[in-house]
Amino acid sequence: MRHHLVLRVVSKLLIPFIILYGLYVQFHGDFSPGGGFQAGVIVAAAIILYALIFGTERAKQVFKPQALMVLAPVGVMIFALVGYYAMAMGGAYLDYDWLAGDDTTGQHIGIITVEFGVGLTVTAVMTLIFLAYAGRTHEIDDDDW
């Protein structure tokens, strides 16, 4: 689809906004619908859009698979480590009350951190999965459809 100028320009404009929206969903999940998972999917969608328009090879240069392969496990680890940290502080596993001096703050910190971990993993895994599919074949041409 590289020759569709309109598409390229529009998406170039859109992609930053999609990612921004993803970040909003990520960190505003406490207040409105959304959270790590939805945010992760949105950001991944932005990356996938980029890959579709500009080609997987170029996408891989921007979003390096090696980096994604680090981010995916790190997201899970962030979540799990919050649990361990609470445990080390004296609470039960994942007991956010122990993350800060006061329970409510602790809960907020906990929720935001784990949601971040979820978002990281989802973004990375979704992108990786897409790249794996895409890496399996030649570039997708219009004629394919």
Partner 1 sequence: MELLIDIVLLAILGIIAVAILWTRHLFVATMLSGAYSLTSAALLVALDAVDVAFTEAAVGAGISTVLMLGTLTLTRRREKATNRRVSIGPLLLVIVTGALLIYGTVDMPAFGDPNAPALLHVVPEYLAGTRDDIQIPNIVTAILASYRGFDTLGETAVIFTAGVGVLLLLGRRREEDEEAGTRRPEREA
Partner 2 sequence: MLELILAKYNYWIVIVLMMAGLYVVVARGNLVKKIIGLNVFQTSVFLLYISMGKVAGGTAPILTGKDEVFSNPIPHVLILTAIVVGIATTALGLALVVRIREAYSTIEEDEIDEAESLDMTADLAERRR
Partner 3 sequence: MSTLSAALPHLPILQVVVPLISAPICFLLQRAGLAWAFSTLVSWLAFATSVMLLRAVMADGTIHYEIGGWAAPWGIEYVIDAANAIVLVIVSGIGAAVSSYAPRSVLAEIPASQRGLYYTAYLLCLAGLLGVTITGDAFNVFVFLEITSLSSYVLVAAGAGLDRRALTAAYNYLVMGTVGATFFVIGVGLLYMVTGTLNIADLHERVPPLLDNRTVHVAFAFIVVGLGLKLALFPLHTWLPNAYTYAPSTGTAFLAATSTKVSVYVLLRFLFGVFAPTSGLMALTMDYVLLPLAVIGMMAATVAAIYQYNLKRLLAYSSVAQLGYMVLGFAYGSVDGLTAAVLHLFNHALMKGALFLALGCVMLRVGDVTMHGVRGLGRQMPWTMAAFVAGGLSLIGVPLTVGFISKWYLVGAALEDGRWWIAALILASSLLAVIYVWKVVEAAYLREPPAGRTVREAPLSMLVPTWILVLANIWFGVDAELTVSVARTAAMGLLGVAP
> Is 76 near partner 3 (CB under 8 A)?
yes
Q: Give the separation between CA 128 and CA 130, rounded to whole angstroms.
A: 5
CB of 8 to partner 3, least distance (A): 34
- Of 111, 83, 87, 107, the residue nearest 27 (C-alpha): 111
- Burial category of 119 from C-beta neighbours within 10 Å (exposed 0-12, middle 13-18, buried 19 and up): buried
- Of 65, 50, 39, the residue nearest 13 (C-alpha): 50
Check if the beta carbon of residue 54 is closer than 8 Å to that of residue 10: no
> Is 116 near partner 1 (CB under 8 A)?
no
Residue 54 phi/psi, 5° resolution? Answer: -100, 0
> Is 109 near partner 3 (CB under 8 A)?
no
Cα angle 42, 56, 71 (rounded to 5 degrees) comes to 50
The residue count for binding partner 2 (CB under 8 A) is 9
CB of 96 to partner 3, least distance (A): 7
> Is 69 near partner 3 (CB under 8 A)?
yes
Binding site for partner 2 (CB under 8 A): 31-33, 37, 122, 129, 132-133, 136
Binding site for partner 3 (CB under 8 A): 69-70, 72-74, 76-77, 80-81, 83-84, 87, 91-98
Binding site for partner 1 (CB under 8 A): 29-35, 37-38, 41-42, 44-45, 48, 69, 72-73, 75-76, 79-80, 83, 93-94, 96, 103-104, 107-108, 110-111, 114-115, 117-118, 121-122, 124-126, 128-130, 132-137, 140, 144-145
